[in-house]
Amino acid sequence: MDSRRLLRTSATALAAAGLILSGCTGGSDAAAPADPGTTRARAADRPSPVPEALKEFYGQKLAWRDCGTAGFQCATLRAPLDYAKPAGPEVRLAVSRVRASGPGTRIGSLLVNPGGPGGSAVDYLQGYAGVGYPEPVRARYDMVAVDPRGVARSEPVECLTGPEMDAYTQVDQTPDDQAETKALVASFQRFAEGCEKRTDEVLPHVSTVETARDMDILRAVLGDERLHYVGASYGTFLGATYAELFPGRVGRLVLDGAMDPSLSALDLNRDQTAGFETAFGAFAADCVARPDCPLGTGTPESAGEALKKFFRAADAAPVPTGESRPLGESLATTGVIAAMYDESAWPQLREALTRAIGGEGSALLALADSYYEREPDGSYTNLMFANAAVNCLDLPPAYQGPADAEKAVPSFEKASPVFGAGLAWAALNCTYWPAEATGRPHRITAEGAAPILVVGTTRDPATPYRWAESLADQLSSGTLLTYEGDGHTAYGRGSDCVDTAINTYLLEGTPPPAGKRCS
């Protein structure tokens, strides 16, 4: 499991459950692209003209067509595979939109991204954002999504077959001896080799910087002078990267569940491990107050010890599930972590743990399968493949080899007594990646950008709150909105205070006052 997987799983579940199949209008009615050299922004903020070699891409017209979901249109956007060689091969990116419903003056396009990296923005739009975002926002914006390069419908990264992925997810990620360490290393190597074999040409070109440049082409093709955007989780890093590259083209950017671009891969993994421990502490405190808690009715600390005892038992003797995949320690850990993303999953986790501790692991296996996006037929979406491909390009690997991972285990266990060892070893995956990292940790200031709204949740498991504090501090125009609560991200999770602040910013361009806190 990649401990840097930052997908907003609750939103993904809504997307999967909310598809409405029907027809929609076709034809090409995209407005002419704005000329970046004649923007109405202040002269000091005026972006540079589009390079001559990219004008063909910025000047393209989207051919909108029926995409089979009521009210939505689809199109294909062209972009250079390698921005250093724009005359070379191209990538074709899947785009979808739903037009502003009115009433009120249309503000422009609102691009959305659910995170991951690897989450399908098109699925998120069609299943959730395009129908579930607040009505006043949908009335004033065309809601738009593009699957990033390497993801879902956009030149997807492919690595392993379904059976191969099943084997990969069952490998012991807390090796107890040299043989188990070698097996874990071999699994990471097979994963990387599979990606190189099946996705050779695209694999070195799915970085966040390249995806941000794709978004600027889409902005221009849609006819918008500035980019309006809501990004969740990893989508905050994508949005911040866009602001760094194109500060004069920043419109209204909401970065919800923020990542900290200044951290190394090792620090990101360790911080996120601490985030999962914080989330588990909240779950455990709720659980032990209930008479049927499968982890006992003592303290959150004793619940953690009970869970670790269960993990050790599953490592020694995997729990039957009624199918060919028993529930070992790795899948059991993944199932628990999957439920940490959203407190609404806590009842499901209590039931799954009750059954698993009692000797029947199918419910906890189902949670792990939802995390990995395993389909009922045994196939997998490309989520985990794209996740690794993007992460391993964006930052140098956390370790040079297994000896480094072993040395890091104590610091990870200090961050999380429950999950630390497994997540320390999980950070070894990029060590064997076939494409060299092109990104480096650094602060993003985006000097000259319009006000940017950063949102942080105090007990967020996947993007710790201090990351949001850090990103808001780095951005020259950043404002931090705090949600005091549980779960991953804050917009649309039931806080009227959060939603009102974000809606006001999107509709009026006015961020909340500094230090605004909601519960």
Partnered with residue 145 across adjacent β-strands are 96
Which residues have a Cβ under 8 Å from the Cβ of 358 and sit 6 or more positions away?
none
- At residue 195, what are phi and psi to the nearest 5 degrees? -65, -45
Which residues have a Cβ under 8 Å from the Cβ of 267 and sit 6 or more positions away?
none
In the set 460, 477, 486, 495, the catalytic residue is: 460
| 513 Rama class: left (phi>0) / alpha (psi -120 to 50) / beta | beta
Residue 145 token pair: 């999504």
Query: Do residues 250 and 216 touch, judged by C-beta distance below 8 A?
Result: no
In the set 96, 154, 233, 477, the catalytic residue is: 233
- At residue 253, what are phi and psi to the nearest 5 degrees? -110, 125
Q: What sections of 101-224 are H helices per DSSP?
A: 121-124, 130-132, 135-140, 162-170, 178-198, 208-221
Distance CA 492, CA 446 (A): 27
CA angle 408/319/361 to nearest 5° reads 100
488 in catalytic set: yes
SS (HEC) of 423-449: HHHHCCHHHHCCCCCCCCCCCCCCCCC
In the set 154, 205, 228, 488, the catalytic residue is: 488
Provide the CB-side half-sphere exposure for 87 (13 A, CA): 2
Residues with a known catalytic role = 233, 460, 488
